[in-house]
Structure 1
Amino acid sequence: MSAGNGTPWGSAAGEEVWAGSGVVVEGSELPTFSAAAKVRVGVTIVLFVSSAGGNLAVLWSVTRPQPSQLRPSPVRRLFAHLAAADLLVTFVVMPLDAIWNITVQWLAGDISCRTLMFLKLMAMYSAAFLPVVIGLDRQAAVLNPLGSRSGVRKLLRAAWGLSFLLALPQLFLFHIVHRAGPVPFTQCVTKGSFKARWQETTYNLFTFCCLFLLPLTAMAICYSRIVLSVSSPQTRKGSHGETPIPRP
């Protein structure tokens, strides 16, 4: 597996692997637009339409001016950024995978190969990091309700900045490789970018941890602390206690 794509397309050990997302390779044969790839394209189109419509509606709802507010609340700002990250996935990752399934090989040139692989992984990182920011904000609101909320913007900048930095290696790892014949074929791969298999494995493991394990762990900690705080005896006593009425 190469970071930023769902199936193996290249190898550091020098094997001839010519596979884009959703295609089948048997032996040394070139990949074809298989039945499984056709199903993936159909599912991707359905998900694209539903995701685009839903996230555009959310983005419009949280960014439209509110008569009672001079500027957006921190919660509305957080959901606007989350919708923007989801739209980045929708308009970069989904069309890229669908078109690649159809064309099988890469037809857009080397610069677009590097750029789109970078944007693809950045979109996935941002969609993973922004829910963590929301979890941290909810944790702060519950555990310290009277505290300042000025840190939301810093967390948002950190999430987008980390997404950009962690996706940067894609610009240097991916490139196009040509196969001359008997049938000309071009693919966007990481083939030759790693000197040894363990380097590729380490990079993919690092990407998996940053993309899935760390955000999941951070959100689990945040919401566990929220649940423990809300269900603690002191909290229940404070919420159900009666305020004494002063006597004259």
Structure 2
Amino acid sequence: MLQFKLHHFQLAERQVTSRLDLLKRHLNYADLLVIFVYVPSRACWLLTYDWRGGDLLCRVVKMMHTVAFQSSSNVIVCIALDRLFSVFSATRHSPDKANRRIRVMLAAAWTTAFVIGMPQLFVWRSYVPFQHLNWSQCLQIWEIARLENATARGRLFDAESWYSIAHIGLIFWIPALIIVMCYVMVLSWVFINSRPSISRKGKRTGSLQTGCETVDTVLTRASEWNPLKTFSLPKMKDIKEDKSIGPPRIVVSDESSLPLTSRPSIASSEASAVIRTSVHNSQSYHASVNRSRAVRVSFLLVVAYIVCWLPYNLLSLVHIIDSHLFANSFIKFYFLHEFMVFNSVVNPYLYGLFSHSDKIRRRNHE
């Protein structure tokens, strides 16, 4: 029975870490797409200012750009939703259901990323403005139409604007809104449940009931296990008064009259209770370390995502709302787009840093 509880605690301790590791692995996949698909194609264009891949490669590369950034946003949303469900959902006590939920969310995240990226196959074209120079570019259909027919600008502006709004909304603004809502709800729950309550249960007067596991509550619960029965000697006064009592004997509670072989064993029940208490305290410590690590890593990943993605997407909104203002003032800040790439570079350092520090903490604790 004790081994079963040990195994159960070990499995429960691993679930938070294993779910976070799965989410980080998929975030790595999305970051690798950004680094090895977007960055090389962007670097080649900046070096040559010429598109030499042909029409099909133009469409496929632009689609993969969208898939890379969209999948990164979607996985960050999955991390925020996992934090939310771990607080509010009843499946937080069911590791199998929680893992199944994570896999469903990740499958939906990647499927959505490819679906949103599909329209790029029809929006982008390889265009050669000067045939005699053999100089081509990978452009959107609206840019090509404006170059070929100046009178088409007014008619195409609405379609291009709606496309741009939908594009940046799906890639950043809608995911960012979901992430902010998730963490507002989580922080609200933590604030409400961390407020001290004057209610106590039974003899648990050592700490206030806050709705959260604390060191005080764990130690108080551990102290409520019945201690080993104490040994006592009969009083000499009673021995002198009662002539029938033989030589002094060591008695255990009131069961001294029983033969040694018929006395109930106290080692199997009481000692195992003490062992279970120490195991519970140790497992509670490791579980709390894993939970705090998961919260810190997920929170920093979300903060890095917002900080790196927000400037460029604000710039894109300015471009949509007032293109003249963008052309005159904000075009010099287009480099903010590269901050989104920097997010893919910094993510592995964030959870790698905490993974190393937690290993040191566990080694010191042991």
Give the direction of change, closer, same or farther, for the CA distance of 1:231–1:111 in structure 2 (3 Å limit): same
1:131-142 alignment, distance < 5 Å: 131-142=76-87
1:211 to 171, 180, 184: 171
When residues 182 and 112 of structure 1 are mapped into structure 2, their CA distance, relative to the original with a 3 A threshold, is closer
Q: For 1:105-139, what per-residue CA distance to the aligned partner results, in whole angstroms no more than 9, with x for missing partners?
A: 11111111011001011101001110000111111
Corresponding position: 1:238 with 2:211? yes
Q: Distance in 2 between matches of 1:219 and 1:210?
A: 13
Determine the structure 1 residue equivalent to 2:189: 229
Q: Does structure 2 retain, via aligned residues, the 8 Å contact 1:119–1:167?
A: yes
Asked if the contact 1:124–1:211 (Cα under 8 Å) also holds between the matched residues in 2, the reply is yes
In 1: Cα distance, 2:141 partner to 2:193 partner: 58
Q: Distance in 1 between matches of 2:86 and 2:23?
A: 13
More contact order relative to length (CA 8 Å, sep ≥ 6): 1
Larger radius of gyration, structure 1 or 2?
2
Query: Would you say 1:170 and 2:120 are equivalent positions?
Result: yes
Matches of 1:139 and 1:220, distance apart in 2? 11
Greater alpha carbon shift after TM alignment, 137-146 vs 216-225? 137-146
| Structure 2 CA distance for aligned equivalents of residues 83 and 247 of structure 1 | 50
Aligned-residue CA RMSD (Å): 2.6
Equivalent residue for 1:94, pick from 19, 39, 45: 39
> Residue 178 of structure 1 contacts residue 184 of structure 1 at CA under 8 Å; is this kept in 2?
yes
Equivalent residues in 2 for 1:194-209, closer than 5 Å: 196-209=156-169
Q: Are the counterparts in 2 of residues 229 and 235 from structure 1 also a CA contact under 8 Å?
A: no
Match 2:20 to one of 65, 70, 75: 75
Q: Which amino acid aligns with 1:109?
A: G
Counterpart in the other structure of 1:33: none
Residue 71 (structure 2) pairs with residue 126 (structure 1) = yes
Find the aligned partners of 2:168 and 2:112 in 1 and give their Cα distance.
Answer: 15
Residues 180, 159 of structure 1: alpha-carbon distance in 2 compared, 3 angstrom cutoff: same
Of Structure 1 and Structure 2, the greater helix share is in 2
Distance apart, 1:104 and its partner CA = 0.2
What displacement does 1:96 show? 1.1
- Match of 2:136, SS state, is strand
Q: What is the identity, as a one-letter code, of the residue corresponding to 1:245?
A: E
**Distance (Å, rounded) in 2 between the aligned partners of 1:84 and 1:233:** 36
> Which residue identity lines up with residue 211 of structure 2 in the other structure?
G
Cα separation, partners in 2 of 1:246 and 1:200, compared to 1, 3 Å: same
Q: Does 2:129 align with 1:179? A: yes
Q: What SS class does the counterpart of residue 106 from structure 1 fall into? A: coil
User: Aligned partners of 1:207, 1:120: CA distance in 2, in Å?
Assistant: 12
In the alignment, does 2:81 pair up with 1:143? no
Tell me, in whole angstroms, the C-alpha distance in 1 between the residues paired with 2:165 and 2:45: 24
Q: 1:238 to 1:179 in 2, by over 3 A?
A: closer
TM-score by length of 1: 0.65
Q: Which runs of 5+ in 1 are unaligned?
A: 1-67
Q: Taking structure 1 as reference, are residues 200 and 245 closer, same or farther at Cα in structure 2, changes over 3 Å only?
A: same
User: 1:235: Cα distance to partner?
Assistant: 6.9
Matched residue of 2:28: which SS? Answer: helix
Task: Note if contact 1:106-1:187 (Cα within 8 Å) is conserved in structure 2.
Answer: yes
Separation in 1, partners of 2:195, 2:24:
28
* C-alpha distance after superposition, 1:149-206 (max 9, x if no partner): 0211110010000000001010111111112355332111113577622101101100
What is the SS of the residue equivalent to 1:105?
coil
Local SS of the residue matching 2:141: coil
Change (3 A) 1:235 1:159: farther
**What is the distance in 1 between the residues matched to 2:37 and 2:81?**
27
Secondary structure at 2:24 match in 1: helix
